[in-house]
Amino acid sequence: MSTFQEYLLAKRAVDHRSLNPRVWAALGAAVAQRAGPKGLNVLELGCGVGAMFQRLVGGGVLRQARYTAVDGDADNLDCALSRLPGWSREEGLACQVTPDGAVLEGAGRELSIRLVTADVFAFLDSASTRPDWDLVVAHALLDVVDAPGLLACLARLCRPGCLVYLPIHYDGLTCFEPQIDAAWEETLWHLYHHSMDARPAGGSSQTGRRLYTWLREAGFRLLEAGAADWMVFPRDGAYTPDERLFLDFILDTIDHQLTGHPELDDEAFAGWLSLRRAQVERQELMYVAHQMDYLACLPE
């Protein structure tokens, strides 16, 4: 397992407490309304290590479903597949592993999951013209791809009434406390956001707020939306091991993204990073990232 899979596994707990409860409740109600005897046909794009499938099943949102989970990174899907049997046991589900996923059954629940390694755009291009998806999930994906393009593609493909659940999308605000040099950090965040906006694959540092417009422009009807901020601080004086790994990864990401940036003084940046890392080491840093969740559907 690489650092990225470890990060995705560590991120689960932070995501879980950050998901907007109103949007989650609206998702549960909309899914219950659509659930027929055959269960739901669900597509997840950018599924990582499978955290959202487990959350939807564990949280009782999905009881009968055919779930297709797509990600471009085969190591993520290997990690997701290897964890399914152990997780199913804890959930009280019998798990039969298939060549590309698993069938899970127990206590009135019947689920199948198929894991597909593919670029999400290539996957959608190769999908049939009217795939029978009831729900499409994209969790922390639209801020790293061409979101308007992806939504237009989904609007073209999906049938009327199809739901889209889009949680944890970054919205242009990161802060750390205690403060070090607020004015200098403003410049740092400006460059950090600019580097996100300039990614060749697309993505925007303001995806959270922009989704409001992009969903409407693509023809989706907004059902619910709300903030889903990440907040990590040492509860009772200490981070959990997952929170520690998560914070280390966030600081490494900022390091990786901005080291050598022509508009950033190398020495000042290295000094800032070591002060922030020391705050993590002393278990005193608080990290906040502003994010948004959306639930929408295609009009019937």
Pick between residue 75 and residue 185 the one whose CB is nearest to ligand SAM: 75
51 binds ligand SAM (CB under 6 A): yes
141 binds ligand SAM (CB under 6 A): yes
CB–CB of 78/94 below 8 Å?
no
Q: CA–CA separation, 247 vs 225, rounded Å?
A: 26
CB–CB of 53/112 below 8 Å?
no
139 binds ligand SAM (CB under 6 A): yes
* Residues in the chain, overall count: 300
208 binds ligand SAM (CB under 6 A): no
Interface residue with ligand SAM among 31, 41, 43, 71 (CB under 6 A) is: 71
Pick between residue 35 and residue 227 the one whose CB is nearest to ligand SAM: 227
| Token output for 249 | 């990864």
Q: CA–CA separation, 44 vs 115, rounded Å?
A: 10
CB of 47 to ligand SAM, least distance (A): 6
| Token output for 168 | 């944890």
140 binds ligand SAM (CB under 6 A): yes
CB of 59 to ligand SAM, least distance (A): 15
Q: CA–CA separation, 56 vs 71, rounded Å?
A: 18
Q: CA–CA separation, 126 vs 213, rounded Å?
A: 27
Residues binding ligand SAM: number (CB under 6 A): 17
Contacts 24+ apart (CB under 8 A), 173-179: 173/288, 173/289, 173/290, 174/287, 174/288, 174/289, 174/290, 175/287, 175/288, 176/276, 176/279, 176/285, 176/286, 176/287, 176/288, 177/285, 177/286, 177/288, 178/279, 178/284, 178/285, 178/286
Pick between residue 95 and residue 289 the one whose CB is nearest to ligand SAM: 289
203 binds ligand SAM (CB under 6 A): no
Angle at 217 between CA 30 and CA 39, to 5 degrees: 25
Interface residue with ligand SAM among 20, 39, 40, 48 (CB under 6 A) is: 48
Interface residue with ligand SAM among 136, 145, 232, 296 (CB under 6 A) is: 145
Cα–Cα distance list, 6 to 12, 177, 241 (Å): 10, 25, 11
Candidate segments 125-133, 136-144, 234-242, 248-256, binder of ligand SAM by CB under 6 A: 136-144
127 binds ligand SAM (CB under 6 A): no
CB of 211 to ligand SAM, least distance (A): 15
Interface residue with ligand SAM among 23, 62, 72, 296 (CB under 6 A) is: 72
Phi first, then psi, for residue 3 (nearest 5°) are -55, -35
Interface residue with ligand SAM among 97, 116, 127, 144 (CB under 6 A) is: 144
Candidate segments 32-40, 70-78, 86-94, 283-291, binder of ligand SAM by CB under 6 A: 70-78
Candidate segments 141-149, 190-198, 210-218, 237-245, binder of ligand SAM by CB under 6 A: 141-149
Q: Where does this chain bind ligand SAM (CB under 6 A)?
A: 8, 11, 46-48, 51, 71-73, 76, 119-120, 139-141, 144-145
